[in-house]
Amino acid sequence: MSPIDRGFAAVVYGGSVLFALLIVGLFVELVLGSWPSLKAFGPSFIWHSAWDPVANKFGALPMIYGTVVTSLIAIVLAAFVGIMAAVFLADFAPRWIATPLSFLIELLAAVPSVVYGLWGLFVLAPLVRTAIGPALQHVLGWTPLFSGPIYGVGLLTGGIILALMIVPTVTAISREVIAAIPRDLREASMALGSTHWETATRVVLPAARIGIFGACVLGLGRALGETIAVTMVIGNRPEISASLFAPSYTLASVIANEFTEATTSLYISALIELGLILFLVSIVVNALARLMIWRVRGSRA
Amino acid sequence: MTAAPPTIAPAGGALATDDLSAYYGTLEAVGNVSIAFRRKSVTALIGPSGCGKTTLLRCLNRLHELTFDACVSGRVLLEDCDIYEWGMDPMAIRRRIGMVFQRPNPFPTLSILDNAVACGGRRLNRRAKIEVAERALRAAALWDEVKDKLTRSPLQLSGGQQQRLCIARAVAAEPEVLLMDEPTASLDPIATAVIEELMARLAERFTIVAVTHNMQQAARVSDVTAFMLADADGTGRLIEVDDTAKLFTKPSDPRTEDYITGRFG
Ligand SMILES: Nc1ncnc2c1ncn2[C@@H]1O[C@H](COP(=O)(O)OP(=O)(O)O)[C@@H](O)[C@H]1O
Ligand SMILES: [Mg+2]
């Protein structure tokens, strides 16, 4: 190896080690910060549902629940809308529509989340209270998911806001993945007498599924950690209720909301432990997704 | 389509073009081609690269119109019926005219079995599927090689096997005509020989139009050869059509002679 090659290798190697160290360091820091809480509550922190700073009782379950439910709502909505939009943009829309529309969608990804939050608070929340909520309740009110009073702010509103925020990511990546599917494959399908729609759903989407899955995971990752917009529309109440109309809390939003007012060291460390949980969940979600992608690839190679 | 189509190909397969021109935007890639393909025979389309062979072929099953900004004028007659006539269903036309592409393109997410019955196979139960697939795969001389791995991915097959799977996929739809665009261009000589042999057998059941820029191949596999050449504007013209033996020994056009003796192209 020439000295330059060696230098380059050293930089690359050093860089990756640095990244690994950064992640480990972050983990250690989080564990140290949450030590008082870890010692006081042990693993039961995860499944206790009381969050009462005045009584010094802390349990993470309501926030874990709120995070999981809002993220699930978001990813289900965003995957559906985003994949449909991507198919439309890549395979159906004429160029003069597809190009500006793709550009606009990619711009949407650059809107700061606090703007989404404001819009959610002033437009979406009233809409959920007066129109979307009552309509859903009218049709699906018999299920616990859609029963109870409709406040406007709550799990559903948080989920919808998150969906809006990750739809551009899901759409943009899915569109690229779909556009990269060879023309040959589409034509093989068309030449067999399939319609455009059959070609898109039976040939193109299956062939692009790994990349689309990746797009959704990326969206999910963003939804799990998204803070400010959700904080503005989730209702900020550490409770677990079956109804999607009920106010709730997420891991990220409780940290953002309460860190400045946390007075006791136990309170602070409980918040840091929430951060630790969020960190671990994010890593596990990404690792699982990657594992699945590898397995899908492996079975095809 | 019935669940169990007849093994003996139905009559039909009379295919002809009448003053057919094809355009990409303002480029006229194929100009005023009139040719009647011989039924249940192999017609080879030869000519130098870029002379419009692929374009002509793709007009015959209405695939050309899927390209951005592409259009067609003139007529293509399948059994005396113009496939471009207003109200004709392109999907139905494409089921009557199968196509095999230059590069093998099996559906990567479907099994070998599902590839073979990709056209209309979803409505069949497993036994009927295997029945249809076996018939198609036997017709494509692939059955013995894949019968024990029907549920595997087609990507595990060799290039030649993949191409025969694509032939089976087209044949399973029981078309009348089979279009092949340089079906052996990406294959090694042994795989090529297998497919050439196969083409002769398939010609008993289908009218075959095969593009090739390999003249030896045209001479080996075809009954009739059509020679195309692009004019000064880049428009592909049909120069000469004749029995293959005649065209390669006594061409009537000097340009054909130049081409087959290797003076250009
Ligand atoms: N999708 C396309 N858009 C524009 N022009 C094309 C396209 N495909 C082919 N052409 C042009 O049409 C002419 C004929 O091409 P083609 O039919 O592919 O020739 P061949 O198959 O004989 O090599 C060429 O000049 C080529 O550049
Ligand atoms: Mg070609």
Note down the domain range covering A291. Answer: 34-300
Q: What is the pLDDT of residues B27-54, one digit of tens each?
A: 999 999 999 999 999 999 999 999 999 9
A12: in domain: no
Asked whether residue A24 is assigned to any structural domain, the reply reads no
> From the CB of B65, is ligand 1 less than 6 Å away?
no
Ligand of minimum distance to the alpha carbon of B29 = 1
Instruction: Compute the distance between CA of residue B190 and CA of residue B239 in angstroms, rounded to an integer.
Output: 32
DSSP B4: S
The pLDDT value recorded for residue A289 is 67
For a mutational test of ligand 1's pocket, the pick from B21, B33, B54, B182, i.e. the residue with the most ligand atoms closer than 8 A to its C-beta, is B54
* Full-model pTM: 0.84
Question: Does the beta carbon of B29 sit less than 6 angstroms from any atom of ligand 1?
Answer: yes
A180 burial via Cβ count (<10 Å: 0-12, 13-18, 19+): exposed
Shortest alpha-carbon distance between residue A268 and chain B (Å): 51
Residues in B closer than 8 angstroms to A193, CB to CB, are 91-95, 119, 173
pLDDT tens for A52-64 read: 988 889 999 999 9
Once rounded to an integer, what is the mean pLDDT over residues A244-254?
93
How remote is the CA of residue A95 from the centroid of ligand 1, in Å? 21
Is the confidence at residue A299, as pLDDT, over 60?
A: no
pLDDT of residue B4: 47
What phi and psi values does residue B37 have, to the nearest 5 degrees?
A: -80, 140
What is the DSSP secondary structure assignment for residue A248, as one 8-state letter?
B
Report DSSP state, residue A89: I
| A191 to B99: CB separation less than 8 angstroms, yes or no | yes
Percent of chain B, pLDDT > 70?
A: 95
Is 50 exceeded by the pLDDT of residue A184?
yes
> How far, in Å, are A129, A234, B89, B102, B181 from residue A159 at the CA level?
15, 9, 44, 48, 51
> How many independent structural domains does chain A possess?
1
CB A225 within 8 A of CB A212: no
Pairing of strands B70-78, B81-82: antiparallel
Mutate which: A91, A95, A192, vs B, most B CBs within 10 A: A192
Residue A10 domain-assigned (yes or no)? no
Report pLDDT digits (tens) over B195-233.
Answer: 999 999 999 999 999 999 888 999 999 999 999 999 999
Nearest CA in chain A to B156: A301
User: Distance between CA A91 and CA A93 in Å, rounded?
Assistant: 6
pLDDT range class, residue B6, cuts 50, 70, 90? very low
Task: Using the CB atoms, write b or e for B91-125: b if 16+ within 10 Å.
Answer: eebbbbbbbbbbbbbbbbbbbbbbbbbbbbbeebe
Q: What confidence category does residue B9 fall into, taking pLDDT thresholds of 50, 70 and 90?
A: very low
**Tens-digit pLDDT profile for residues B90-144:** 999 999 999 999 999 999 999 999 999 998 777 888 888 999 999 999 999 999 9
Average pLDDT in the B73-82 region?
91
Q: Is the alpha carbon torsion for B50, B52, B54, B58 positive or negative? A: positive
Q: Is residue A1 part of a domain?
A: no
- Whether A117 maps to a domain, the answer reads yes
Q: Where are the beta strands (DSSP E) in chain B?
A: 15-24, 27-37, 42-46, 70-78, 81-82, 97-100, 177-181, 207-211, 224-230, 236-243
Q: Report whether residue B63 contacts ligand 1, using a CB cutoff of 6 Å.
A: no
Statement: residue A281 has pLDDT above 90: no
Residue A23 falls inside a structural domain: no
Does the pLDDT of residue A116 top 60, yes or no? Answer: yes
In a domain, A8, yes or no: no
Question: Is residue A28 situated within a structural domain?
Answer: no
Domains of chain B: 13-260 (3.40.50.300)
Q: Does the interface predicted TM-score (ipTM) exceed 0.85?
A: yes
Cα atoms in the Cβ-side hemisphere of radius 13 Å centred on A166: 32
Give the C-alpha separation, A218 to A282, whole Å: 11
**Mean pLDDT, to the nearest integer, of A147-160?**
93
The size of the A-B interface in CB pairs under 8 A is: 62
CA A170 to CA A86: how far, in whole Å? Answer: 8
Region label for A152, one of left (φ > 0), alpha (ψ between -120 and 50) or beta (otherwise)? left
pLDDT at A81 over 70: yes
DSSP-H helix ranges across chain A = 3-33, 35-41, 44-47, 61-87, 95-108, 113-119, 125-127, 133-140, 155-179, 183-191, 196-199, 205-207, 209-225, 228-233, 251-258, 265-300
Return the pLDDT at A280: 92
Q: Give the list of residues 6+ apart from residue B121 with CB closer than 8 angstroms, or none.
A: B114, B129, B132, B133, B172
| Domain at A78, CATH number | 1.10.3720.10
Q: Residues of A at the B interface (Cβ-Cβ below 8 Å)?
A: 95, 182, 184-185, 187-195, 203, 206-207, 209, 300
For residue B182, the ligand closest to its alpha carbon is 2
Whole-angstrom distance, CA of residue B227 vs CA of residue B216: 14
How far is it, in rounded angstroms, from Cα B231 to Cα A256?
72
How far apart are alpha carbons A270 and A48 in whole angstroms? 12
DSSP code at position B156: G
Distance CA A211, CA B178 (A): 34
Rounded Cα gap, residues B77 and B90, in angstroms: 13
Q: Which residues pair with B241 in a beta bridge?
A: B226
